[in-house]
Amino acid sequence: MSLPARPRNRRVLPRWRDTRAAVETGEMRSLQRASADEKARAQQAGVQRLVTLQREFGAKPSVGRAAELTGAAALMNRPDVAEDAAVYLLLNAEQTTPAALASARTLLALPAPGEAALQAPQGTGLLTVQAEVRRLRPLLREFPHNPLMHLDLARAYAALGQAQRAERHLQVALALAPQHRFALRTAVRFHVHTHDPRAAVTLLRRSDRTPHDPWLIAAEISASMVAGVAPRFVRRARDLVENWDLDPLHISELAAALGTLELKDGGKSKRVRKMFRQALEQPTENAVAQVQWVAPQVQVPLDEQQLKSVPRNFEMRAWERYSLSRFEAARDAFECWLQDEPYAATPVIMAAYLAGALDPTPTRAIELTRLGLTAHPADEVMLNNMAYYLAIGDQLDDAETYLRRAQAATAPGNVWNGANLVATQGLLLFRRGQPDAGVHLYEAAAALAKRSALPQRAVIAQLNLARELIRCGDERAPAVLLRALEEARALTSPDVDLAVAHLRAQMQRLGVPPEVLPPTLFR
């Protein structure tokens, strides 16, 4: 199996999340800030109203008055003023309604607002996405004018590889909410997903809102970079970033996009760094991931304390944990990222890759890859990996089919995947009971990888070869294993660490006593 190469050209493209998750990130926040005056006025009106309701309830208690006060207090987040009224409702439970009683109970428990914790990742798979479609379709028949529901359904269709349906619902959403930031940004992500970044650029340039909204300008810059055209609002963007005096969150992605643009155009590193530093003032997770991505070229320190409060910071966390070889934790983060973007290729490949290496059976890896292939049916890495997982699960004929599709999808010059394909072929031969041919292909794969300056891939091929030899009790096993571990030691790479960990676990499952294995396997 193989990893995706980490994206060579990461751009600060808008995320396309579930609309319920998207509000968490601040993307929906308004650019205007309430003036102190407005706040005071709203508060004063509220206080006066609550005082009146309190007095009216006190003067002549009844469930109607108690319920009115309880409701208004809940609305204005002032549970303290309605405690008596809530108690009154509970004492007169038979005179009121379950809805009012539930409110009264909530109110008396004084819940802290905004306590919504991050949900543990639920499995994302084809079935979950299909279930989402089944959930949304009847709802939309009932509420055809809900743009958010159209966006969510479009997203589910995109994850299922049904780009046309996705686009149709996207169009409806845009017709219902043409100037809506999130709808526009979603459309941008969609067009890039379907390899039509120019459509994204056109859409943004046509919207009156774009020049005034840093979130949209950020998307315009990034989509233009993907499309290979010159971004239109760069001067305006610099201006905004320079003179921004509102919530810095709003320009986080814009600054990150500008920094990326300047970096690509060979801008002065001081300026580039300044941009990224600004992106981090109050960052979105997308900006954080971008800073992490540029780190080899531009060093901008990430503040761990600050990162803790960045919502949905999955991509950055996933790669961070992976690079530290914390694989179980990395897997959780990739799964979270996948839940955020079920149509995206990288998280699904990585989540499956980790599942394949860590789980005793390839079931989850196959399930995830099936999801990935639904959205990206010609992705050569996924096709190859699918063949690999199926072979590991001894579904050899299916594996063969995928392998052939992978071969057809791989461009001739793609050595990265080329070497992997040869190795997978070797695996398949092993499982078909032809170890000699298997050895031959694995060694060819390792040699090809080495020639192409991919030493990790070469070592991984050898480690997998060792595993197959041990599995079938072949006497060549010890020598191959020792050599592979020797070479592995010389490399510091999480990919190799993971392969070693996988091998270790595999040996344990096969019941190979640790004493017969080389101690280097356990370091």
- Residue (30 or 508) nearer to other proteins, CB: 30
Options 28, 378, 472, 510; binder of other proteins; rule CB under 8 A: 28
Shortest Cβ 289–other proteins spacing (Å): 21
Question: Nearest-CA neighbor of 213 among 246, 259, 172, 170?
Answer: 246
Least separation in angstroms between residue 186's CB and other proteins is: 11
Among 6, 55, 404, 451, binds other proteins (CB under 8 A): 55
Query: What is the CA 80 to chain-centroid distance, rounded?
Result: 40
How far apart (Å, rounded) are the C-alpha atoms in residues 144 and 138?
Answer: 10
CA atoms within 13 A on the CB side of 72: 21
- Single residue of 105, 134, 137, 145 touching other proteins by CB under 8 A: 145
3-state secondary structure 431-460: HCCCHHHHHHHHHHHHHHHHHCCCHHHHHH
* CB of 112 vs other proteins, minimal distance in Å: 11
Three-state secondary structure readout of 394-437:
CCHHHHHHHHHHHHHHCCCCCHHHHHHHHHHHHHHHHHCCCHHH
- Kindly state whether residue 309 participates in binding other proteins, applying the rule CB under 8 A: no
| Among candidate residues 45, 282, 275, the one with its CA nearest the CA of residue 53 | 45
Q: What share of the chain is helix, strand, coil (3-state, %, to 5)?
A: 70, 0, 30
Which is nearer to other proteins, 60 or 270 (by Cβ)? 60
Helix (H) or strand (E) holding 318: helix 314-323
207: contact with other proteins by CB under 8 A: no
Nearer to other proteins, 34 or 229 (CB): 34
Does 64 participate in binding other proteins (rule CB under 8 A)?
A: yes
168-187: which residues touch other proteins (CB under 8 A)? 176-177, 179-183
Quote the least distance from Cβ 303 to other proteins, whole Å. 23
Among 1, 72, 336, 422, binds other proteins (CB under 8 A): 72
Is residue 75 close enough to count as binding other proteins by CB under 8 A?
yes
Answer yes or no whether residue 99 interacts with other proteins by CB under 8 A. Answer: yes
Q: Does 78 bind other proteins (CB under 8 A)?
A: yes
Angle at 392 between CA 387 and CA 396, to 5 degrees: 60
CB of 174 to other proteins, least distance (A): 11
* The one segment of 4-12, 23-31, 268-276, 460-468 that binds other proteins by CB under 8 A: 23-31
User: Least Å distance between CB 131 and other proteins?
Assistant: 18
Q: Judged by CB under 8 A, does residue 138 bind other proteins?
A: no
For other proteins, give the closer residue by CB, 143 or 522.
143
Tally DSSP H helices, then E strands, for the chain. 27, 0
How far, in Å, CA of 509 to CA of 511, rounded? Answer: 5
CB 166 within 8 A of CB 133: no
Instruction: Encode 184-217: b = buried (16+ Cβ within 10 Å), e = exposed.
Output: bbbbbbbbbbbeebbbbbebbeebeebbebbbbb
- The reply to whether 113 sits near other proteins by the rule CB under 8 A is yes
283 binds other proteins (CB under 8 A): no
d(CA 178, CA 188): 13
Nearest-approach distance from CB 92 to other proteins, in angstroms: 8
The residue (of 74 and 505) whose beta carbon lies closer to other proteins is 74
Which of residues 4, 14, 121, 147 is near other proteins by CB under 8 A? Answer: 147
Residue 513 makes contact with other proteins by CB under 8 A: no
- Cα separation, 351 vs 377, in Å, equals 17
Q: Is 91 in the site for other proteins (CB under 8 A)?
A: no
| 130 CA to centre of own chain | 19
Which residue is associated with the tokens 């992997």?
A: 420
Q: Binder to other proteins among 1, 11, 14, 71 (CB under 8 A)?
A: 71
Which residues here bind other proteins, judged by CB under 8 A? 19-20, 23-24, 26, 28-30, 32-34, 38-39, 42-43, 45-46, 48-49, 52, 55-56, 58-60, 62-65, 67-68, 71-72, 74-78, 89, 92, 94-100, 103, 113-114, 116, 139, 142-143, 145-149, 176-177, 179-183
